[in-house]
Amino acid sequence: MRVFLMRTNFVPGTRHVIGWRGLQDSFSSMLAWTAKVKGFPVVFGIHFNKAETVAGWINGRFELYYFPDRDEELTELYSLQAGIYAQKEDYLSRVRNFSSYPELCELFNIGMIDLCVHQEGNGLIFGLESISRQRVIAKDGIYLHQDGRRVELVKPGGYDQDFPSYNTSLGLYEVLAASVTFNLKESPGYLRYITQAGTQITYDSSGKYWEDRTDDAQKKYLYLGYGKADFENNIEKILKEREAPTTDIAWEKGDVILADYKDKLWWNAHKISDYKTLDKQALGIDERPQLIVLTGFLGSGKTSFLRHFLEYQIQYNRFVAIIQNEIGEIGLDGKLLDHDYSVTEIDEGCVCCTLVGSLRNAIHQILSSFHPDYIVLETTGLANPYNLLDEIAEVNELVRFDSITTIVDGLNVDKSLEDYEVAKDQIKAADILLLNKKDLLNEIQLKKIYQKLRLINPNAPILLTKQGDINPALIYGIDPQDIKEIKNQKDIEEATHQHYSSHKDSGVSSYKLSFSKPLERKRFLEGIKALPHNIFRIKGVLDFIDSKTPLLFQYVGGRFEFSEFSNPKMADRFLVLIGQGLQRKSIDSVFEQHNFSN
């Protein structure tokens, strides 16, 4: 199970296509996970229950749970007790550690997964077991005494719980099954669907409860078989001592696929390669992940910035690897690490690790297991970014160095600069400066700090932030695929500024230029160098006279690079410029003076 979960989630494009939206080991157990999947706002829980060996098969059973959002419609279909539990202040923190809370598991259990492997390695069964509706009847009703009145919450004989367990479980099962197909590199050759009479629970006001059969709820079993083993006999053993089925449908390879299942991704997920990588190749985008060095003095707000950065990238299903340069100190997982690289968690498209040795080794190990879109090297508050420059130069073939981003603590910058030379170097080395905690400073203070930062670093843009919150597209640019449908300047500004409003306080804006003819590269670069210093990010797709294919141009902090761009569907040739206080007339004037196309 761990292999199916982790290997799929390590490939960002693939995980998105299959339907994953997040996965994390439960803190309390190495055999429990919380997971988000497409179509469900909060999380599922998967917990190993037991394993047994039967007639040459190792049968593993995993409990399934669904932990709804407090305001989600499905919460109303759970019992009142479950609804009250979901309102607890620490509900979500308990969910992440759900296997440590038996009452949480009891309230939100919705089904079972069977993962059965033939001992000779020639077959695997992946099954789902659940009930169509989990129904609990309050025989005497449920009442609440409030303000001297007796308020009826559930009428006598009404449902305290009426949860659609099978259909909810199926949402996770389909994603899991597609992950099995993807990892086994073959589609299932066997399918079995069985239903049996279900039951419902009734309880009275004395606390007595009993179970009754009902035609309104059915036990449902769905099994997929991979390989060439005897699936039917093993499924019968799994179902031993169960009631006679009311429905029993079997499908084998060569039969016509049943209508209810013909569109399921588990038939074709093995044909998915590294979707994200293939997409990048088709678009002509550099395969190397962007490397961002995140620095800033102690308490400046790096963690807050990083949290917002991750939230933004997750919205676009991008995968971020974070390296903490802890220099042998305690890392994100709270453990002392004695090697270069250790994965501590995967959660919502992020993998975190701790670096205590070679940056090159850490990046190499990341790339051997993951395909991140960004690698963020977060330094300690006392680290000097100048010490990393040599190492960054040595990893150029592995990553594309983007920038050094320095978070500045607006409240304590004066004292930091006075007491620590490294604080000054962090500012001086920056390609991008984020003046944080703007909400705690008045205009006069902000102006003085701005002037001080500008004296130390005359070139880096200085952007104001509150709790490290800023649209990453403003400072790290946008990919061509994000703007291929943009038609005018209004569109590009909306695309660049969506989700956050912090840019308005710093006077950041963007400008798109279109080109109808191939450009002369030397003159183009001369024009780029002549642009105002307040432009800190440029990206676009251009034709050049000396190149047979279009080129992707990227610029940040005075550095630039070209890479081939081979997407024939994108005919637009353009540059997007991002900066502070942009004057479009002056930009147009520079481009006109250098006459790029002749």
269 plus 283 within the same structural domain = no
Which tokens belong to 154?
């559930």
- Higher local confidence (pLDDT), 46 or 514: 46
Residue 151 lies in a domain: no
- Compute the average pLDDT of residues 153-170: 94
- What pLDDT score was predicted for residue 191? 95
Predicted confidence (pLDDT) per residue in 489-530, tens digit: 454 444 444 433 333 445 667 788 888 889 998 889 888 888
551 plus 461 within the same structural domain = no
416 plus 269 within the same structural domain = no
441 plus 569 within the same structural domain = no
Number of domains in the chain: 3
- Higher local confidence (pLDDT), 469 or 563: 469
- Compute the average pLDDT of residues 532-553: 84
Residue 549 lies in a domain: yes
Which span out of 22-26, 211-215, 453-457, 458-462 was modeled with the highest average pLDDT? 453-457
- Compute the average pLDDT of residues 101-119: 94
Domain of 535: which CATH number?
3.30.1220.10
Q: Which domain holds residue 423?
A: 277-470
Q: Which of 124, 372, 112, 350 is nearest to 225 (CA)?
A: 124
Q: How large is the C-alpha radius of gyration of the chain?
A: 29
- How far, in Å, CA of 66 to CA of 166, rounded? 11
Which tokens belong to 542?
């251009």
Contact 225, 191 (CB under 8 A): yes
Contacting residues for 507 by C-beta, under 8 A, at least 6 apart: 580, 581
% the chain with pLDDT above 70 = 82
Residue 152 lies in a domain: no
Residue 409 lies in a domain: yes
- What pLDDT score was predicted for residue 257? 86
- What pLDDT score was predicted for residue 285? 45
Can you state the percent helix, strand and coil of the chain, rounding each to 5? 35, 35, 35
Q: Which of 17, 47, 16, 44 is nearest to 31 (CA)?
A: 47
403 plus 439 within the same structural domain = yes
Burial of 206 per CB tally in 10 Å (0-12, 13-18, 19+): exposed
Contact 597, 518 (CB under 8 A): yes
- Higher local confidence (pLDDT), 572 or 105: 105
- How far, in Å, CA of 372 to CA of 116, rounded? 32
Contacting residues for 364 by C-beta, under 8 A, at least 6 apart: 398
- How far, in Å, CA of 467 to CA of 229, rounded? 57
